[in-house]
Structure formats: C-alpha cells, structure tokens
C-alpha cells in the first residue's frame, strides 16, 4: 500500500443502516470499500479471496451467527482485522485479544481511532 492510494476494505455488517454508515464514513478517512458481506457465508467467501482488500472491518454478530470463523480465515491470510461489536471486547474469545475493537454505537472519531490502531498513523492524519 502506498500513502497515495486509499486503503481497500472488506466491510462485514448485517445491519443495513450500519453498513450504509460505514460506506459513508470510510471514504472520508481514506478507506475505499471494495468488498462487502452481510452474512457469515458471505464473509467466509470474501475471506477466502482476499485479493480485493487490505483490511477488514467485521461485525461479531451476523444474523445470530458469530463471525469468528471468517476472522480466523482473514487473519490466516494476513489481513488486519477490526471487530465491530455492541457486546464489548470482553466477550471475544481470548485468541482475538490483540485485535482492535470498535464498539457500537460509534461515531466518525471512534472509527478514525480504530482505523489508526488497525492501519497505523497514516489513517489518523486524513
């Protein structure tokens, strides 16, 4: 990734309004949404073909199913991953303790801070 090109992201979110919010906020933060999934099945398919994105933002609960299997695939592929959850970071399995977490509800500044943790200072200056 060069500093001039936007970071490409996979966004996994089952709630339409939150997906729309993320798609609205991310470009202002230097992130281009290049892949989307609204279910665990879609997230798994995307995780197995990570060539279209550099990072992933993944909701924990996808229609009553946990996204952990997809996150395991993303991490195995070397994709930096951010959890999005209303449950808090304490509800995640210990194997995900080092991953950044964006708590719901969130605003633009919260998202910017989480992306900075995920991608480094490059995101914080946009």
- Mean pLDDT of the chain, nearest integer: 89
Q: Convert the pLDDT of each residue in 38-90 to its tens digit.
A: 999 999 999 988 899 999 999 999 999 999 999 999 999 999 999 999 877 67
Residue 3, pLDDT score? 54
Domain ranges of the chain: 7-124
- State the pLDDT at residue 126: 39
pLDDT score for 50 = 85
Q: Residue 40: its pLDDT value, please?
A: 97
Strand partners, 103: 85
Higher per-residue confidence, 49 vs 4: 49
Instruction: Order across the sheet with 55-59: list the strands.
Output: 31-37, 7-12, 55-59, 81-85, 101-103
Fold of 7-124: Rossmann fold (3.40.50)
What is the reported pLDDT for 80? 95
Determine the pLDDT at residue 89: 66
Q: State how far the Cα of 74 lies from the Cα of 79, in Å rounded to an integer.
A: 5
Q: From 41, 37, 29, select the one nearest 56 (Cα to Cα).
A: 37
CA distance 75 to 96: 10
């Amino acid at each position: 990734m060069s500093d001039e090109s936007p970071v490409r992201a996979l966004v996994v979110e089952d709630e339409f309004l939150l997906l729309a919010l993320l798609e609205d906020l991310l470009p202002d933060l230097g992130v281009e949404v290049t892949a989307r999934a609204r279910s665990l099945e879609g997230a798994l398919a995307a995780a197995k073909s990570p060539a279209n994105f550099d990072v992933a933002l993944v909701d924990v609960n996808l229609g009553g199913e946990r996204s952990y299997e997809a996150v395991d695939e993303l991490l195995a592929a070397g994709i930096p991953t951010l959890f999005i959850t209303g449950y808090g970071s304490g509800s995640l399995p210990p194997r995900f303790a080092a991953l950044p977490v964006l708590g719901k509800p969130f605003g633009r500044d919260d998202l910017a801070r989480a992306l900075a943790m995920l991608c480094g200072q490059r995101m914080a200056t946009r």
